[in-house]
């Protein structure tokens, strides 16, 4: 009986820890998404300045890629 | 804690009063931002006649033309120029040391490399020294008495170390945990000591906003990033460069996305620690500033009560942020070393 109780306590503790772990993981999700989009857009704007083309190709492509990447990594983190 | 809050009030009180009197109107936002930012001198108080009592920290500069220069930041105080350098007072480079041309204009293209011992550097080094002293005495006491029931400093540090091992390292890293324990423990205690030192307002080296400095959190996140990448195994890299189940024509899109994903995780780590600690400092300082904004004594008790409450909350945040940083570092490393999904 006492063994069962300790294992029960352990599993409870594990559940609790999992909750905290998940909280810690997902609490950074917003920053992560914002970070990805900011970095890609910034990179796009920089590249467009470097090339000096009339149409901001890199800004458009990289910002779209950034939004896609942000959603993709968020979903991937959720599945894991 | 009461004492702590009391010293906060008295130390900041002196400064704020002077500012209010000399300028007529009290500017809370500049005051708060000045206290959060890193600086070349350590401001202690402002005397009644407007003189500042400050500790001037060493300035170490390197530039291609002038070579290495080491001098006290007192030479640069009050906008003075020394050896062709001065502290910029406005614009984008505010608070930074810039080189000045012969014509007296600021040379914005050739900024010197600033390796100075600033407030944050002193705070960080003191935290490192405190950590070293704590753990050296801990190891000495273990060597002397062997592993018996903990006493003295052991009884305080042993549970924390075991907590990092049993609740952070082992659940995430499994049997590989031993290899990463030194880094996880170092990160945990470095952040914890710096957070706690930042909460104590006085005297120097306490009260520097070290973990609320984005450069510091950037370096810490970079450490986690590098350790993660270098311990990445075959499965980890395969998932990045040729994720199973992804058709080959999608790979040109997926590889950049995965690589961006690599950088985004430590980025979030960096922002979280920085934002949490900075926000805490801003709240405490704003609450104190309330007294001087309203310019009335009746606000003081309310403000002090809130500050005490916030200090308790910050005490929790100090531990929580150290925990979360270490936990996420362990999690990222575990993602890189796990065999299969």
Question: For B174-190, what is each residue's pLDDT tens digit?
Answer: 888 888 999 999 999 99
Q: Is A32–B268 a contact, with Cβ atoms under 8 angstroms apart?
A: yes
**B165 CB neighbour count, 10 Å cutoff:** 15
What the block records as the tokens of A57 is 């190709």
Same structural domain for residues B83 and B211?
Answer: no
**Range 38-77 of A in CB contact (< 8 A) with B:** 39-40, 65-66, 68-70, 72-73, 76
Number of domains present in the structure of chain B:
2
Among A28, A66, A69, beta carbon nearest to B268? A28
Rounded Cα gap, residues A60 and A68, in angstroms:
12
Question: In a mutagenesis test of the A interface, which of B257, B259, B278 is the best target, namely the one with the most A β-carbons within 10 Å?
Answer: B257
Same structural domain for residues B99 and B123?
Answer: no
Is the CB of residue B41 less than 8 Å from the CB of residue B95? no
Is the CB of residue B262 less than 8 Å from the CB of residue A32? no
- Sequence-distant (6+) residues with CB within 8 A of B175 are none
Inside any domain, residue B1: no
Q: How far apart are the first and last CA of chain A?
A: 35
Match 């395969």 to its residue by tokens. Answer: B238
Inside any domain, residue B303: yes
Is residue B60 classed as helix, strand or coil in its secondary structure? strand
Sign of the CA dihedral running B256, B258, B263, B268? positive
pLDDT confidence of residue B25: 67
- Sequence-distant (6+) residues with CB within 8 A of B270 are B214, B217, B218, B220, B221
Same structural domain for residues B95 and B201?
Answer: no
**In A1-80, at which residue ranges do the beta strands (DSSP E only) sit?**
none
pLDDT confidence of residue B21: 47
Average pLDDT rounded to a whole number, residues B211-224 = 92
**B322 CB neighbour count, 10 Å cutoff:** 24
* B174 touching chain A per CB within 8 A: no
pLDDT confidence of residue A25: 73
Mean of all residue pLDDT scores within chain B: 82
Same structural domain for residues B185 and B292?
Answer: yes
Inside any domain, residue B48: no
Same structural domain for residues B86 and B164?
Answer: no
Residue A9 banded pLDDT, cuts 50, 70, 90: low
Q: Is A72–B261 a contact, with Cβ atoms under 8 angstroms apart?
A: yes
Same structural domain for residues B319 and B255?
Answer: yes
Residues of chain B contacting A36 with CB distance shorter than 8 Å: 260-261, 264, 267
| Alpha helix stretches (DSSP H) within B24-152 | 28-36, 119-145
Which residue on chain B is closest to A65 by alpha carbon? B257
pLDDT confidence of residue B7: 42
Average pLDDT rounded to a whole number, residues B280-303 = 87
A17-40: per-residue pLDDT in tens? 677 777 777 777 888 888 889 888
Q: Is B272–A66 a contact, with Cβ atoms under 8 angstroms apart?
A: no
Q: How far apart are the first and last CA of chain B?
A: 48
Domain boundary among B97, B114, B131: B114
Is residue A1 classed as helix, strand or coil in its secondary structure? coil
Tell which residue, A78, A80, A62, has the closest CA to residue A26: A78
Q: Is A31–B267 a contact, with Cβ atoms under 8 angstroms apart?
A: yes
Backbone angles phi, psi at B85, to 5 degrees: -120, 150
B26-72: per-residue pLDDT in tens? 778 888 887 888 888 888 887 877 777 888 888 888 888 777 888 88
Rounded Cα gap, residues A38 and A36, in angstroms:
6
Question: In a mutagenesis test of the B interface, which of A15, A18, A28, A64 is the best target, namely the one with the most B β-carbons within 10 Å?
Answer: A28
Is the CB of residue B208 less than 8 Å from the CB of residue B122? yes
Same structural domain for residues B86 and B187?
Answer: no
Tell which residue, A73, A75, A79, has the closest CA to residue A36: A73
Rounded Cα gap, residues B166 and B177, in angstroms:
10
Tell which residue, A40, A44, A46, has the closest CA to residue A66: A40
CA A28 and chain centroid, separation: 7
Which residue on chain B is closest to A28 by alpha carbon? B268
Same structural domain for residues B157 and B92?
Answer: no
Inside any domain, residue B50: no
Rounded Cα gap, residues B234 and B236, in angstroms:
5
* Higher per-residue pLDDT: B87 or A39: A39
Is residue B204 classed as helix, strand or coil in its secondary structure? coil
pLDDT confidence of residue A16: 67
Inside any domain, residue B18: no
Q: Is B260–A25 a contact, with Cβ atoms under 8 angstroms apart?
A: no
Is the CB of residue B287 less than 8 Å from the CB of residue B309? no
Rounded Cα gap, residues B101 and B106, in angstroms:
6
Same structural domain for residues B249 and B302?
Answer: yes
| Top-confidence range, B56-70, B97-111, B154-168, B234-248 | B154-168
Range of the domain at B106: 58-114
pLDDT confidence of residue B184: 93
- Sequence-distant (6+) residues with CB within 8 A of B166 are none
Same structural domain for residues B109 and B136?
Answer: no
Average pLDDT rounded to a whole number, residues B329-334 = 90
Question: In a mutagenesis test of the A interface, which of B246, B262, B264 is the best target, namely the one with the most A β-carbons within 10 Å?
Answer: B264
Domain boundary among B48, B82, B114: B114
Backbone angles phi, psi at A52, to 5 degrees: 75, 20
The DSSP line for A19-30 is: HHHHHHHHHTHH
Q: Using N-to-C axis directions, what is the helix angle for B299-337 and B2-23, rounded to 10°?
A: 110
Same structural domain for residues B144 and B273?
Answer: yes
Is the CB of residue B31 less than 8 Å from the CB of residue B19? yes
Is the pLDDT assigned to residue A7 strictly greater than 80? no
Q: Is A28–B257 a contact, with Cβ atoms under 8 angstroms apart?
A: no
Inside any domain, residue B150: yes
Q: Is A32–B264 a contact, with Cβ atoms under 8 angstroms apart?
A: yes
Same structural domain for residues B245 and B321?
Answer: yes
């Amino acid at each position: 009986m006492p063994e069962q109780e300790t294992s029960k306590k352990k599993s409870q503790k594990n559940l609790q820890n999992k909750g905290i772990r998940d909280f810690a993981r997902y609490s950074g999700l917003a920053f992560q998404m914002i970070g990805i989009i900011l970095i890609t857009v910034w990179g796009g704007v920089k590249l467009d300045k470097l090339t000096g083309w009339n149409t901001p190709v890199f800004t458009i492509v990289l910002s779209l890629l950034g939004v896609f990447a942000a959603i993709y990594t968020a979903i991937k983190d959720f599945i894991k | 804690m009461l004492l702590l809050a009391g010293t906060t009030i008295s130390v900041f009180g002196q400064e704020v009063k002077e500012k209010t009197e000399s300028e007529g109107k009290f500017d809370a936002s500049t005051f708060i931002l000045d206290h959060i930012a890193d600086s070349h001198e350590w401001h202690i108080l402002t005397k009644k006649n407007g003189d500042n009592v400050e500790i001037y920290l060493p300035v170490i500069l390197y530039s291609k033309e002038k070579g290495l220069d080491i001098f006290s930041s007192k030479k640069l105080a009050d906008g003075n120029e020394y050896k062709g350098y001065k502290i910029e007072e406005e614009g984008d480079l505010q608070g930074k040391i810039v080189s000045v041309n012969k014509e007296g204009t600021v040379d914005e293209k050739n900024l010197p490399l600033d390796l100075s011992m600033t407030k944050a550097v002193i705070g960080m080094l003191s935290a490192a020294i405190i950590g070293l002293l704590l753990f050296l005495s801990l190891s000495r006491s273990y060597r002397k008495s062997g592993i018996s029931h903990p006493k003295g400093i052991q009884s305080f540090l042993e549970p924390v170390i075991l907590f990092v091992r049993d609740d952070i390292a082992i659940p995430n890293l499994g049997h590989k945990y031993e290899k990463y324990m030194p880094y996880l423990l170092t990160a945990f205690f470095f952040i914890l000591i710096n957070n706690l030192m930042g909460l104590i307002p006085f005297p120097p080296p306490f009260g520097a906003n070290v973990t609320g400095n984005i450069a510091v959190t950037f370096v810490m996140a970079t450490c986690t990033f590098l350790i993660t990448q270098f311990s990445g195994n075959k499965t980890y890299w395969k998932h990045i460069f040729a994720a199973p189940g992804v058709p080959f024509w999608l790979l040109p899109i997926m590889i950049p996305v995965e690589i961006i994903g690599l950088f985004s995780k430590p980025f979030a780590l960096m922002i979280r620690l920085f934002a949490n600690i900075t926000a805490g400092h801003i709240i405490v300082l704003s609450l104190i500033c309330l007294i001087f904004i309203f310019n009335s004594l009746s606000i003081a008790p309310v403000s002090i009560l809130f500050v005490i409450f916030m200090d308790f909350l910050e005490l929790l945040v100090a531990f929580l942020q150290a925990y979360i940083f270490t936990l996420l570092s362990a999690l990222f490393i575990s993602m890189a070393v796990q065999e299969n999904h």
